[in-house]
Amino acid sequence: MAQKKPAKKPASKATKKSPAKPKIVPKSKSMAAPLADLSHVEVEGSAKLTYKGKEIDLKVLHGTEGHSTLDIRPLLPQFGLLTYDPGFGSTANCRSAITFIDGDEGILRHRGYDIADLAERGDFMEVCYLLLHGELPTPQEKAEFEQTVCYHTMLHEQVYPMMEGYRRDAHPMAVMVGIVGGLSAFYHDSLDISDPEQRMLSSYRLIAKMPTIAAMSHKYSIGQPYVYPQNHLKYAENFLHMTFSVPSEPYIVNPVLAKAMDRIMILHADHEQNASTSTVRLAGSSGANTYACIAAGIATLWGPLHGGANEAVLQMLAEIGSVKNIPNIIRRAKDKNDNYRLMGFGHRVYKNYDPRAQVMKKTCEEVLRELGINDPMLDVAMELEHIALSDPYFIEKKLYPNVDFYSGIILRAMGFPTKMFTMLFAVARTAGWIAQWKEMIEDSEQRIGRPRQIYVGENKRKYVPISQRGSAAKLRAV
């Protein structure tokens, strides 16, 4: 005989109403959010170009700050000319209202706010909100934003078997590229980039899930059980907890280390049109979904010339070993016939002191003091910094310490393995990538990216049947 189910008790007045779930996307900042305002571009004059007896006036554009820009779009249709700029060092490929850099003056601002102010007085969630929405949040907006991010920190359970398809010794960036790109297979409700609601949903999901993916990758690599996110912890605290806690004992997040991690994330949140950000924009211009675009940015960041610089600094300091070895290293660095290069000095953009490096140096000192670490690497680093700021050679070459100079020491002191350094960079930079991607999608002037080239290959040739082909030299003569 089937057993009768117990009769349900009528719900009391106190339990009739279930607690409200966090909103998937705050309605005040989704459909109602204004599109990116990119209208602050003015024509400040023109430049005359003469070619083969024909003249053309090219507009000179200027934004709110920064260099004036020559609008070269008429060159190809009117003159049949392209421009040549390897590395795009003198080319503006978009309009943007997110980040401003003045490399000569050592300025970095997000939405008008100096990076030092944001790092010293704000937190990473505020900066994420600022990058996405253009303004610092009110207390209510910040609480809603943090609640929403917390709500999305967990991963779909089928992602965990995906992780176990990788070797345990796989590089964390290889894992992150695959997992982030694979998220598009799980979250079909946020793939339509033409829908502002879905764009915001995928944006919040990525910001929320990146620390979980990074921590999960670390745990898998060392054979420890995964640690699920805790919604009562703040963003940086949650990441440290997922990375370093184990089920067998409680883990108390050190507030000094949590603050240091939060600052590191702020300092890496966005940096204008760098290689990975430009990649995200280029991928996004094709209409690819958010997850695919961010995976493309992660792949670009993996390159040692971009995201791996702090790891290289750590290796350099270890090789130097002691302050007494610095004079020989400086001599080698100055010798133009020696290929030796000091890592962590100079920057593609900054021709002055990297404004992020000052905050990072202070943070480094706080972390080492809190942990009671007397790291000889810091002595070497401080002496190198002193030389760089006083030696005429370094001043003339403008080889000032950059943000990578101290970040590697901090991360090592906190217990992160060296191979995780670039992954931590990706966790922080996701907010900037998403803000730049979102702005690109909403820019009416943007089209699918299609760089041009100077062709230096063969002219037209006739196809030669394989039976008649001789050596390469003979073929060129045909």
pLDDT number for residue 143:
96
pLDDT number for residue 327:
92
> What are the residue boundaries of the structural domains of the chain, listed by start?
42-108, 127-302+427-442, 309-414
pTM (predicted TM-score): 0.87
Q: What is the pLDDT of residues 135-149, one digit of tens each?
A: 999 999 999 999 999
Based on the residue annotation, tell me whether 391 is a catalytic residue of this protein: no
pLDDT number for residue 478:
53
- Domain at 127-302+427-442: CATH architecture: Orthogonal Bundle (1.10)
Both structure tokens of 107? 């300025």
pLDDT number for residue 15:
41
pLDDT number for residue 472:
59
pLDDT number for residue 345:
87
- CATH 1.10.230.10 fits domain 309-414: yes
Both structure tokens of 418? 């060296």
Query: CA-to-CA distance for 355 and 117, rounded, in angstroms?
Result: 11
Which parts of the chain sit beneath pLDDT 70? 1-38, 471-478
pLDDT number for residue 398:
83
Beta carbons of 417 and 171 less than 8 angstroms apart: no
- CATH 3.40.50.300 fits domain 42-108: no
Based on the residue annotation, tell me whether 347 is a catalytic residue of this protein: yes
DSSP characters over 31-97: TTSPPP-----EEEEEEEEEETTEEEEEEEEE-SSS--EE--TTHHHHH------GGGTT------S
Instruction: Please pick, among 123, 262, 270, 404, the residue that the annotation labels catalytic.
Output: 404
Query: CA-to-CA distance for 288 and 282, rounded, in angstroms?
Result: 10
pLDDT number for residue 452:
93
pLDDT number for residue 41:
86
Query: CA-to-CA distance for 335 and 65, rounded, in angstroms?
Result: 38
Contact partners, residue 372, CB within 8 Å, separation at least 6: none
Instruction: Please pick, among 110, 133, 241, 347, the residue that the annotation labels catalytic.
Output: 347
